[in-house]
Structure 1
């Protein structure tokens, strides 16, 4: 049974005339009559008394009419609601971010700007490398990318002429270690040539890896590290460092609670910290209808 059959029956009940009902439903009278007949066959009952002028509904038809009106109204309301959901979804702005930004930065930022209903985090992006974010912006997989960025020259060769950004906030990468029994770092910088520090590193094609490598290369004191593991997600690095496997650099927001509880301790002084920016990027030739308004709103908060 099709919904349009129910709509046909309602039209027939209103007009009490096959020809006028067919016109109302924008079909020929033979087609309309055949659909009413199919409806009666489906129900196994005569629903229309064709012997009266104007025609009338049988008692079964009167009862069936109530069902038709209820069902079609529910379908109409559901259809409207689904279109509303689709429209709202189309208007929502999708933002991609690394896992640590998604967990420790994005919720407060969305709340501060009252954007929870307008901006939707893109969970598939939490393990992307930096270039993945820019490719996703270009192909409209996401509308915004919330990324860490070095303060000063970027160690990666990137052509960003097709993108624009806002500097939203700052962050700091800090070296951390699990504590020893006295509360001191189990692994402390700079390490020794003969006994390098076990190191839980970022993915070699990631921005944070490149930033750290550049910072350590410029350090006034040589650091001695032995790379044990490479990870895309900061949460994995934090877990391995917390379990005592080695030293690692974490964004301060990511490490704060563990530092406060003593679960982690600083593995070096401020000389080994790496300052970062938190940048919001968008593609200049984006196609989202509401992104320009949001961008303008955000520009006013950072200037």
Structure 2
């Protein structure tokens, strides 16, 4: 039994005429009559009194009509709800971001712009390297990519000409270490040839590693490290630093609470901090109404709302 058969029966009950009901339902009269007959066979009862003029419904037909009206109304309401859900899904924007931005920036940023219902984090992206985000934008796997970007000159070997971006904030990578018994950093930059510092490093092909390397190359003092671990995730770097295994750079947002309560301390002067932008990228040719509305809303804000600044206790 099909829903349209129930709609046929409702039309017949309303018009009391096979030909007019068939016209309303946009089918030929023989096809319409055959459907009504199939309904009667399915229900095991005569539903239409064909001997009256205009025709009438039998008592079984009157009962069946009430069922048809209930079922078709529920289907109509459900269809409307599903349509609204599809529209809402089409409006949503899928955003890819590294784990540190997903945890320490995105919730507050979404709340600031009231975007919680519009933007959906793409959790598969938390362990991607920078090129992965742009490839995902290229193939439409996500709508937006939120990523760190070096402020200083840094060779990334990445073509971004097919993408638009907005700067939504600033960040600092700060070198940190656990403290010794006197409260000073156990590991202090820049290290020496004789005593290289154990380094909790980032993935050698990652943006954070490139930004740190480029920044250190511009310093007058050479740094000396023994790389003991490499990781994509800042949380992994933070955990190993916190266990006392060495020194490393963390986004200030990630490190701030541990710095405030003394679990970590700065491992060098301010000049060792690496400035970063936080950029939101989209593909030039990727368009839908939700993405366009979000992009236009963000463009209205000239000053990035998401930023960090040196805390009062920063070494100088």
TM-score normalised according to structure 2 size: 0.86
Q: Distance in 2 between matches of 1:173 and 1:46?
A: 80
2:247 maps to which residue?
Answer: 247
Larger mean CA deviation between 32-41 and 63-72 belongs to 32-41
Give the 3 Å change call, closer, same or farther, for CA 65–241 of structure 1 in structure 2: farther
Give the 3 Å change call, closer, same or farther, for CA 271–8 of structure 1 in structure 2: same
Q: Distance in 2 between matches of 1:187 and 1:60?
A: 89
1:14 maps to which residue?
Answer: 14
In the TM superposition, residue 257 of structure 1 has moved relative to its aligned partner by 1.8
Give the 3 Å change call, closer, same or farther, for CA 50–127 of structure 1 in structure 2: same
- The SS at the match of 1:85 is helix
Root-mean-square deviation (Å): 2.3
- Where does 1:268-283 land on structure 2 (aligned, <5 Å)? 268-283=268-283
Give the 3 Å change call, closer, same or farther, for CA 26–185 of structure 1 in structure 2: same
Give the 3 Å change call, closer, same or farther, for CA 289–154 of structure 1 in structure 2: farther
1:177 maps to which residue?
Answer: 177
In the TM superposition, residue 292 of structure 1 has moved relative to its aligned partner by 4.3
Residues 1:258 and 2:258 are matched in the alignment: yes
1:89 maps to which residue?
Answer: 89
Larger mean CA deviation between 288-297 and 26-35 belongs to 288-297
Larger mean CA deviation between 120-129 and 191-200 belongs to 191-200
Q: Distance in 1 between matches of 2:9 and 2:258?
A: 68
Q: Distance in 1 between matches of 2:66 and 2:242?
A: 66
2:208 maps to which residue?
Answer: 208
2:313 maps to which residue?
Answer: none
In the TM superposition, residue 290 of structure 1 has moved relative to its aligned partner by 4.8
- Where does 1:84-163 land on structure 2 (aligned, <5 Å)? 84-163=84-163
- Where does 1:37-56 land on structure 2 (aligned, <5 Å)? 37-56=37-56
Larger mean CA deviation between 172-181 and 270-279 belongs to 172-181
- Where does 1:195-234 land on structure 2 (aligned, <5 Å)? 195-234=195-234
In the TM superposition, residue 169 of structure 1 has moved relative to its aligned partner by 1.4
1:267 maps to which residue?
Answer: 267
> May I ask how many residue pairs the two structures share in their alignment?
303
Query: 1:167·1:302 contact (CA, 8 Å) conserved in 2?
Result: no
1:191 maps to which residue?
Answer: 191
Give the 3 Å change call, closer, same or farther, for CA 73–193 of structure 1 in structure 2: same
Gaps of 5+ in 1: none
In the TM superposition, residue 227 of structure 1 has moved relative to its aligned partner by 2.1
Give the 3 Å change call, closer, same or farther, for CA 223–154 of structure 1 in structure 2: closer
Query: 1:98·1:147 contact (CA, 8 Å) conserved in 2?
Result: yes
Give the 3 Å change call, closer, same or farther, for CA 174–70 of structure 1 in structure 2: same
Larger mean CA deviation between 283-292 and 82-91 belongs to 283-292
Q: Distance in 1 between matches of 2:240 and 2:6?
A: 63
What whole-Å deviation, never above 9, does each CA across 1:166-203 have from its counterpart, x for those lacking one? 22211001122344555544433333434433322212
In the TM superposition, residue 115 of structure 1 has moved relative to its aligned partner by 2.4
Give the 3 Å change call, closer, same or farther, for CA 33–167 of structure 1 in structure 2: same
Q: Distance in 2 between matches of 1:51 and 1:58?
A: 11
Q: Distance in 1 between matches of 2:86 and 2:107?
A: 24
Q: Distance in 1 between matches of 2:224 and 2:71?
A: 73
Q: Distance in 2 between matches of 1:14 and 1:159?
A: 66
Q: Distance in 1 between matches of 2:147 and 2:46?
A: 68
Q: Distance in 1 between matches of 2:42 and 2:186?
A: 78
Q: Distance in 1 between matches of 2:190 and 2:200?
A: 15
Larger mean CA deviation between 213-222 and 63-72 belongs to 213-222
In the TM superposition, residue 85 of structure 1 has moved relative to its aligned partner by 1.7
TM-score normalised according to structure 1 size: 0.89
